Amino acid sequence: RVMATAAPTLKHLTLELGGNDAAIVMPDVDGAKVARKLFMGAFLNTGQVCVAAKRIYVHEAIYDAFAHAFVAAAQAAPVGPGTHEGVVLGPVQNRSQYERLKDLIADTKSAGHRFLTGGEVPAGPGYFIPPTVVDNPPDDARVVVEEPFGPIVPLLRFSDVDDAVRRANDSGFGLGAPGWSSDPVAGRAV
């Protein structure tokens, strides 16, 4: 509909049609340090950025340290109207997306997946959803397969980098995929 509306007057437009971007975090990095950086790579603009990290694959050797620091960053990020001092994450941009995210959270709960933080949508005005982090759901979970385009991120454990790359590529949606490694050669290989 957007393209059809632009066509009669030959307006220039760019359509971003989805991106369930994956990040891969290798075991040779400081998990806590990378988690704090990657937090904003996932939750910038409340996760409503086309190239935001929407699935984060973390090597099992640093998974726990990474998860702890990532959750701490999420819990320290105030959510609210952008006009309020200190707010880091604002609302979801429309009711339809807000309802879709609430449904994704409900599905994640009903499937029995574990939340490291978030997972509860506060009552009240506005389309506010706190940063929500899901602990290692299966690859076929909706929270992994679908692009949330909001403040919901699954952390996924891996032990073999080739398997992590395969899993990250197992998506019809992907615009970007950062690899985090202290080894420049390994980082490019991811």
Q: Which residues are catalytic?
A: 16, 50
DSSP 25-82: E-TTS-HHHHHHHHHHHHHGGGG-STTS--EEEEETTTHHHHHHHHHHHHHTS-BS-T
User: Helix (H, G, I), strand (E, B), or coil: what is residue 141?
Assistant: coil
Mention every residue, 6+ apart, whose C-beta is less than 8 A from residue 188: 179
| Burial class of 92 by CB neighbour count within 10 A (0 to 12, 13 to 18, 19+) | buried
CA distance 124 to 142: 26
